Amino acid sequence: MSATFKPRVFSGIQPSGGLTLGNYLGALRRFAGFQGTDRETIYCVVDLHAITVWQDPEKLRHNTREVAAAFMASGVDPRQSILFNQSQVAQHAELAWLFNCVARLGWMERMTQFKDKGGANAERVSLGLLAYPSLMAADILAYHATHVPVGEDQKQHLELTRDVAAKFNHDYGTEFFPITEPLIEGTATRVMSLRDGSKKMSKSDPSDASRINLTDDADQIAQKIRKARTDADPLPGSMDGLKDRPEARNLVNIYAALSGETADRILPRFEGQGFGAFKPALAELAVSVMTPITAEMNRIMADPAEIDRILGDGAERAAAIARPIVEGTKEIMGMIRSR
């Protein structure tokens, strides 16, 4: 990456339904740690992404505030970071259009998330669902962001963001856009469903038992862990022994992510025991980590006007960074601007 770009972290979360333990462990809980004096941190509730599939307007408003509350409950400080919702900063949509003319159709059609969501219905999905990665590239590049912390499922979209930046730079003979680094790290880059160890934990899974929601209370968390699918074998002393046991591996990984220990340190304590011993320990740990966050989210959600004020303030600060970058892009592309 070119050294001329100052370190700037950007990440986004869609307000398209309740948040899960996967969102928390793979993304949210890492965000506060990037806050520091030597870099800017920009966190965005990506409402323009959410509407690529239909959203009930009242629910979208609620979910936007809830994601903002989750950012804050996870330690994002709106004074240290910029926290806002995407649609309040017009530069995202504007730069996305410019990138629609740089990115290639084939790149979009190759995205596994598009293939999964579009499926057999690919002709009937919104055009926005196809163009989604172009908007994501715009989110990141409108700020010349250098680092993007996300879960594993966003890897392909971030590669496309790098491709857009490189193609723009090449086509216009410039080094205007940075080649962004994905930050996909830790033990929980891909938390799996509690019902099926081959599927990621997702807010869009029809089964509520498949996930732990950030709004679940202690009883719901404990019950979902108790009912999580596992196998009948005892636990081995190291992760090597869990190679072909995806559900068991997932629960151990969740334990590791929640406790901050490595799986290979945890397993010897449970070696030879079944899930009858492991699940209550995991439930207790999950409840102790998650319920304070849920309580904090609820506290923040009690004052929606204050959330809206924070998002508005963040949007102004975000626009101040994005505006000259998008103007610079248009200038490079040959568009006339009045001065």
Q: How many CA atoms lie within 13 A of 283 on its CB side?
A: 19
Task: Please tell me which residue in 117, 155, 167, 279 is annotated as part of the active site.
Answer: 117
Residue 318 tokens, joined: 């975000």
Catalytic site includes residue 200: yes
What strand order describes the sheet that includes 147-149? 82-85, 40-45, 8-13, 147-149, 181-183
Residues 316-335 that bind ligand AMP (CB under 6 A): none
Task: Please tell me which residue in 155, 167, 199, 200 is annotated as part of the active site.
Answer: 200
Q: What is the DSSP letter of 56?
A: -
Q: Which residue lies nearer to ligand AMP by CB, 153 or 327?
A: 153
Member of 23, 134, 187, 210 binding ligand AMP (CB under 6 A): 23
Q: Is 48 one of the binding residues for ligand TRP (CB under 6 A)?
A: no
Task: Please tell me which residue in 115, 155, 199, 203 is annotated as part of the active site.
Answer: 203
Helix axes 127-141, 91-100, angle to 10 degrees: 110
Q: Which stretch binds ligand AMP (CB under 6 A): 151-159, 227-235, 278-286, 287-295?
A: 151-159
Q: Which residue lies nearer to ligand AMP by CB, 126 or 273?
A: 126
Catalytic site includes residue 167: no
Q: Is 146 one of the binding residues for ligand TRP (CB under 6 A)?
A: no
Measured from the CB of residue 182, what is the shortest distance to ligand TRP in angstroms?
9
Residue 103 tokens, joined: 């990115």
Measured from the CB of residue 25, what is the shortest distance to ligand AMP in angstroms?
6
**Burial category of 128 from C-beta neighbours within 10 Å (exposed 0-12, middle 13-18, buried 19 and up):** middle
Q: Which residue lies nearer to ligand TRP by CB, 14 or 259?
A: 14
Measured from the CB of residue 143, what is the shortest distance to ligand AMP in angstroms?
17
Residues 225-254 that bind ligand TRP (CB under 6 A): none
**Burial category of 198 from C-beta neighbours within 10 Å (exposed 0-12, middle 13-18, buried 19 and up):** exposed
Q: Which stretch binds ligand TRP (CB under 6 A): 30-38, 52-60, 115-123, 135-143?
A: 135-143
Residue 201: name its binding partner from ligand TRP, ligand AMP, none (Cβ under 5 to 8 Å by kind). ligand AMP
Which long-range contacts does 236-239 make (Cβ < 8 Å, 24+ apart)? 236/267, 236/271, 237/267, 237/268, 237/271, 238/264, 238/267, 238/268, 239/263, 239/264, 239/267
What is the rounded CA–CA span in Å between residue 54 and residue 48? 11
Please name the residue ranges forming H helices in 18-56: 21-23, 29-31, 47-50
Strand partners, 80: none
Measured from the CB of residue 158, what is the shortest distance to ligand TRP in angstroms?
7
Measured from the CB of residue 217, what is the shortest distance to ligand TRP in angstroms?
25
Q: How many CA atoms lie within 13 A of 175 on its CB side?
A: 5
Residue 72: name its binding partner from ligand TRP, ligand AMP, none (Cβ under 5 to 8 Å by kind). none
Residue 56 tokens, joined: 């009930």
Q: Which stretch binds ligand TRP (CB under 6 A): 8-16, 204-212, 305-313, 323-331?
A: 8-16
Residue 222 tokens, joined: 């404990």
Residues that bind ligand TRP (CB under 6 A): 10-12, 14, 46, 49, 136, 139-140, 148, 150, 154, 157
Binding site for ligand AMP (CB under 6 A): 13-14, 22-23, 26-27, 150-151, 153-154, 188-191, 200-201
Q: Which residues are catalytic?
A: 117, 200, 203
